[in-house]
Amino acid sequence: MVFYIIGLGLADERDITVKGLEAVKRSQRVYLEAYTSLLLVPKEQLEEFYGKEVIVADREMVEMEADSILEGAEEGDVSFLVVGDPFGATTHTDLELRARGRGIPVQVIHNASIMNAVGACGLQLYRFGEAVSIVFFTDSWRPDSFYDRIAANRRAGLHTLCLLDIKVKEPSLESLARGKKVYEPPRFMSVGTALQQLLEIEETRGGGAYGPDTLCVGVARIGSDSQRIVAGTMQQLLDVDFGPPLHSLVIAGDTHHIEQEYLEQFMVGRPGGPAAAAADEGGSAATGVVPPS
Binding-site residue set for S-adenosyl-L-methionine: 10, 85, 88, 113-114, 164, 247
Q: For the range 123-127, what are the long-range contacts, defined as Cβ-Cβ under 8 Å and sequence gap of 24 or more?
A: 123/159, 123/217, 123/250, 123/252, 123/255, 123/259, 123/263, 124/256, 124/258, 124/259, 127/157, 127/158, 127/159, 127/253, 127/254, 127/256, 127/259
> Which parts of the chain are beta strand (E)?
3-7, 29-33, 55-57, 78-82, 106-109, 132-134, 160-164, 166-167, 187-188, 215-220, 228-233, 247-251
Q: What's the CA gap between 64 and 284, in Å, rounded? A: 33
Q: What's the CA gap between 3 and 74, in Å, rounded? A: 8
- 157 and 254 Cβ atoms separated by less than 8 Å: yes
**Segments in 108-238 forming alpha helices (H):** 114-117, 147-155, 173-177, 191-205, 234-237
Type of residue found at 215: L
Q: Please give the annotated binding residues, written as ranges.
A: 10, 85, 88, 113-114, 164, 247
- 9 and 246 Cβ atoms separated by less than 8 Å: no
Determine the 3-state secondary structure of 15 from DSSP: helix
Closest C-alpha to 118, from 273, 278, 262:
262
Q: What's the CA gap between 95 and 92, in Å, rounded? A: 5
DSSP annotation of 119:
G
